Structure 1
Amino acid sequence: MAVSRLDVFYRRLLLTKLFIGGWGKPEDLKRIFEFRKIIGDRERCKSLVPKDYPVYINKTEDLTDCQIHDGFFMSPLEHLVPGILPPEAVKARFQFIVPKKWQRNRPVCIHLAGTGDHFFWRRRTLMARPMIKEAGMASLLLENPYYGYRKPKDQRRSSLKNVSDLFVMGGALILESTVLLRWLERDGYWPLGMTGISMGGYMASLAVTNWPKPIPLIPCLSWSTASSVFTTGVLSKAVNWTELEKQYAINSVYEEEIIKLLEYCGADSFKMMPNLLKNVNSLEHLLGLSGDHEVSVSQYSKTQMEAEVDGGLQGYRAGEREQQLSSVNSKGTSLDTVTR
């Protein structure tokens, strides 16, 4: 696929390198990858954040059509994985923009920030205020860890210093979104939804998968993985590959221990399909078909289905090869954010 002109233009605007510090401390990577096994389980994740988790409002601004409440709370990640967040990011900050007159119910949409979206002014001006005028909907803008007031002192602009920071950001946003959803629900706001642009949409998707109730989700310009953005996409030229390769070669812990924590967890649909083919006869038995109908099912199952499965597996393997080529080494290290 050809690189878009927009990507080429955006790359020229990148003035700083990503991950200049490398992978991050091996101990931090181990801790966050172990924690993702817990946060990736919806049933276990439900109990990580208490329903009465404290949230505070410390400032209110009164405008003609709305009120803007500035609030904060301590990130639950600091309690669950102590010391993994930089000190500046421990306090989660947000703005809650509420219309003075509700049109119907009291709907609220949580907006997560995209790459480079520091503080609140961009989402407030382009998204929240128009939503109040057009739909009478409130907006809650959560500030990402490593952005705005939560940016570490030694970090330049939006360029995360370590690869581990990306995983920490994802884990923190999942838990912090849960805090805010519980807080809004507790105060009688409904319906609740989540959205975000680019990285914000991806993070919103992660957060919603851990919410135990039906909830609208609108991810904009985002995808089901963030790895391709760093390995082959718009940010690939900004990644400090030299330092990553150097650290990986020098410290054996990445290959011997951390790689194992990145292995796929759960059932793989591509690998399940060959087993499905073995149960074709059982499928025909369940359908209770006979004669010509049985022949048609059998023919489809053993020819067309095999072709489709074989094609899917070939695509899957091709994807694996592409990922391997774009990774630091032949084992295919992924730069995904927290795995669901």
Structure 2
Amino acid sequence: MATVDRAFTQVRTLFGRLRFFRHGWGDCASVHRTWLSSIRTGSTPTPSPAEISWTPLPLNLSLGTFRSPSAPFLPAASATARILYVPALPRAPPAPVVLHLPATGDHGFLRRLFFYALWLRVRGVASVILEGPFYGRRRPPTQRGALLDYVQHLPDLGRATIEESLALLAYLREQGFERQAIAGVSQGGLHAAMVASLCEGSVPAVMAFAPHSAAPVFTKGVLADVVDWDALGEDWGDGARDRLGQVLDVTHIRNFPIREDPGRHVLLFAQDDR
């Protein structure tokens, strides 16, 4: 399967012609390290419940938008968060609800809607699908697909997903959804673990094929083959790969607190995955 992963990545990036971080490092500011330090000391303020504007859609679905709590450091195109609400059937409140987080390159809502949310719906479970920053309608105009322009955009994406998730879970509690869970695949699984470590109360998470950090994904995994190392090497010389690992260390799960209820979570692993 690792060979299939590598071949699929080459096709998706036009055989390596499209690459991550083609504009270089960005400012690689310490803003996220300061945020993580406050998390470790327990002094990070919890985002306020999201203030959502709703638009009804067919099939009783609803499109919601709200100002991201991370808007100050996001590109303008990513500053407005978008969600799709899929109510449970039958619609007897209060149904349990799952917040679905995006994997790398998961633009829009359709993949998670058809593979997860509609299956949960007929089993009496509601879903909220978050369109992540830098993806879909929230993609900066200079970005090609999911290939982030700057290294700095990756920790920006992660922190924004976490803060938006916390704001959404707070909103759902206000609406009477006390039974909550978080789910994600790959990058979404790592973010689900981070959110579960920070959210109020005990919220179970389902993490499928999730890395412990983005660093090995982009320095050793299949995505390392489509990093624009030339763009990164202009600033850092031959140590670009080591430097990238150091910068992306902010995405390591060890930066987040350990909860006392590990039995409430589900981790799915792959035997041969790059």
**TM-score scaled to structure 1, two decimals?**
0.68
Q: Distance in 2 between matches of 1:104 and 1:74?
A: 27
Q: Distance in 2 between matches of 1:201 and 1:245?
A: 30
> Aligned with 1:335: secondary structure?
helix
Counterpart amino acid of 2:9?
A: R
Q: Distance in 1 between matches of 2:41 and 2:146?
A: 30
Q: Give the structure, 1 or 2, with the largest relative contact order (CA under 8 Å, sep 6 or more).
A: 2
Gapped runs of 5+ residues in structure 1?
Answer: 251-323
The equivalent residue for 1:17 is 19
How far is 1:223 from its partner?
2.2
Match status 1:57 vs 2:53:
yes
Match status 1:73 vs 2:61:
no
Q: Distance in 1 between matches of 2:96 and 2:195?
A: 18
Q: Is the 8 A contact 2:62 2:84 kept in 1?
A: yes
Q: Distance in 2 between matches of 1:122 and 1:42?
A: 37
Q: Distance in 2 between matches of 1:20 and 1:336?
A: 20
How far is 1:105 from its partner?
4.6
Q: Is the 8 A contact 1:102 1:137 kept in 2?
A: no
Q: Is the 8 A contact 2:20 2:149 kept in 1?
A: yes
The equivalent residue for 1:320 is none
Q: Is the 8 A contact 2:233 2:240 kept in 1?
A: no
Match status 1:33 vs 2:33:
yes
Structure 2 counterparts to residues 171-320 of structure 1, below 5 A: 171-249=159-237
Counterpart amino acid of 2:169?
A: L
The equivalent residue for 2:43 is 44
Match status 1:111 vs 2:100:
yes
Q: Provide Cα deviations, 1:98-146, integer angstroms capped at 9, x if missing partner.
A: 024147851000000111110111111111001112x210000011100
> Aligned with 2:137: secondary structure?
helix
Q: Provide Cα deviations, 1:310-339, integer angstroms capped at 9, x if missing partner.
A: xxxxxxxxxxxxxx995249xx62524534
The equivalent residue for 1:327 is 242
Q: Distance in 2 between matches of 1:48 and 1:164?
A: 23
Q: Which stretches of structure 1, 4 residues or longer, exceed 4 Å deviation after superposition?
A: 102-105
Q: Is the 8 A contact 2:232 2:240 kept in 1?
A: no
Q: Distance in 2 between matches of 1:174 and 1:235?
A: 22
Q: Is the 8 A contact 1:244 1:328 kept in 2?
A: no
Counterpart amino acid of 1:116?
A: G
Q: Distance in 1 between matches of 2:24 and 2:221?
A: 19
Q: Is the 8 A contact 2:53 2:66 kept in 1?
A: no
Counterpart amino acid of 1:185?
A: R
Count of residues in Structure 1 that have an aligned counterpart in Structure 2: 249
> Aligned with 1:76: secondary structure?
coil
Normalized per residue, the structure richer in helix is: 1
Identity of aligned residues (%): 29
Q: Is the 8 A contact 1:42 1:209 kept in 2?
A: no
